[in-house]
Amino acid sequence: MRVTPTTMMNNLVANLQATQKSMDQLQQEVSTGRRILAVSDDPSAASRVMWYRSALLEMSRYKNNQDTATSALETVETALNQVESALTRAKEIAVAGANSVQPQASRDAMATEIGQILDHLVAVGNIYDGERFIFAGNRSQTKPFSAVGSPPTAVSYLGDAGAHELQIGPGETLQVNLVGGDVFTGAGNPVDVLMALRGDLLAGRVPDISSSRLAEIDAALDKVLATTADVGARQNRVESSRTALADQEHRLAVILDREESADIVEVTARLKIAEQNQQIALATTAKLIRSTLIDYLA
C-alpha cells in the first residue's frame, strides 16, 4: 500500500499535537506541583483525592464546632464562678446574721445585700452570649428567668430542658449548655435559699439561719461546684478531641499531598525529553514539507 505525502503529513501533525499535549500536561504539573489536574489523569487516584478532601472538609466543620463548644463552655464556667462567688458571700452574711448579738438594724442591712445578690443571680441566669441565652435550653432566644420584685420574691423559669449539642469529632457529640434547672431551679437551688435567708434576716429568725440556711447554702455551693467540675470535664473532652482531630488531619493532609503532588525532578526530566522530541518532530516536518513542494513543482 502506497503511503502518500498527505498521509505522512497527517501522521506528523497528529504526532506534533500529541507531543504538544504531553508538553502542556507536564508544564502544568511543573507549574502547579500537582500530578492530578483532571479526573482523567488518574481516575483511581482522583477518587481517593476527592475522598481525602471531603474528609478534611468534614474535619474543618468539627474544628468549628470545637471552637464553638469551647466558647460556650467558657461562658457557662464564668457564670458558675459568679454563682459560686455570690453564694460564698451569702454564706459570710449568714454566718454574721446567725450571731445573736447582732442588732436588727445590722440584719436589715444584711438582708439588703442578700437582695442585691439575688438580683445578681437572676442577671447571671439571663446571660446572653451573643447568640443564645445560655441557661434557656432550646428556647435560646427567650430570657429564661423572670423575677417578681426587686429584690425577687419569686422567680419563674421560662426556658426548657433542651440540650444544645455539637458534633466535635467523628461519632462524638457533646452537650455544651446547662439548663436553668441544672443550677437555678429545683431542690435546694440558690435563688430559693437566698430568698429564705433574706426573709429570716428581716424577721430576725436567728435559729433558722444557723440551723437551716447555712446548711442549705453549703448544699447549694456543693451543687454549683459539682456542676462546675462537670463543665470542666466537658472542656477536657473538647481539648482531647481537638488533639486527636489535629493528628488525624495531619495524617490525611500528608496522604493527600502524596497522592496529588508531582515529582518535580521526574516531571522536569520528562518535559525536557518531550521538548526534544517536539523539536525533532518539527524539524522532520519541515524537511518533509520542502520535499513535498519540490516533488509538486517537479
Q: At 201, which CATH number? A: 1.20.1330.10
Half-sphere exposure of 219 (CA within 13 A, CB side): 15
Inform me whether the pLDDT recorded for 298 exceeds 50: no
| Sequence letter at residue 260 | E
Give the CA angle between residues 18, 19, 20 to the nearest 5°: 90
Q: Which residues pair with 165 in a beta bridge?
A: 175
Residue 216 lies in a domain: yes
- Provide the domain limits for residue 178: 52-254
Query: Are residues 268 and 242 part of one domain?
Result: no
* Distance between CA atoms of residues 201 and 194, nearest Å: 10
Residue 41 included in any domain: no
270 Cβ contact partners less than 8 Å away, ≥ 6 residues apart: 26
Query: Looking at the structure, do residues 216 and 285 belong to the same domain, yes or no?
Result: no
Q: Does residue 144 lie within any of the structural domains?
A: yes
Q: What is the pLDDT of residue 250?
A: 86
In a domain, residue 185? The reply is yes
Identify whether 40 is part of a domain.
no
Q: φ, ψ for residue 135 (rounded to 5)?
A: -110, 15
Contact 197, 114 (CB under 8 A): yes
Q: Is 168 helix (H, G, I), strand (E, B) or coil?
A: strand
Q: Is residue 43 part of a domain?
A: no
Query: What cell does 14 get?
Result: 497528529
Across the chain, mean pLDDT equals 82
Return the pLDDT at 124: 96
Do 161 and 80 lie in one domain? The reply is yes
Asked if 9 and 61 sit in the same domain, the reply is: no
Give residues with Cβ within 8 angstroms of 24, minimum separation 6. none
- Listed as own residue / partner, the contacts of 93-99 with beta carbons closer than 8 Å and 24 or more positions apart are 93/197, 93/201, 94/197, 94/209, 94/213, 94/214, 94/217, 95/214, 97/197, 97/200, 97/201, 97/206, 97/209, 98/206, 98/209, 98/210, 98/213, 98/214, 99/206
State the average pLDDT over residues 220-249: 94
219 and 291 fall within a common domain? no
Do 6 and 116 fall into the same domain? Answer: no
Is pLDDT above 50 for 286? yes
User: Is 59 in the same domain as 176?
Assistant: yes
267 and 243 in one domain? Answer: no
206 vs 33 pLDDT, higher one: 206
This model's pTM is above 0.75: no
Q: Are residues 84 and 224 in the same domain?
A: yes
Asked if residue 42 belongs to a domain, the reply is no
Peptide bond preceding 103 in cis form (omega within 30 of 0): no
- Assess whether 193 and 267 both reside in one domain: no
Assigned domain for 44 exists? no
| pLDDT tens for each residue of 138-185 | 999 999 999 988 888 889 999 999 999 999 999 999 999 998 877 887
Q: Are 148 and 223 in the same domain?
A: yes
The total domain count for the chain is 2
220 shares its domain with 249: yes
**Phi-psi domain of 262 (left: phi exceeds 0; alpha: psi -120 through 50; beta: other):** beta
Strand, coil or helix: 145: strand
Q: Residue 140: what pLDDT?
A: 92
C-alpha cell at 181: 434547672
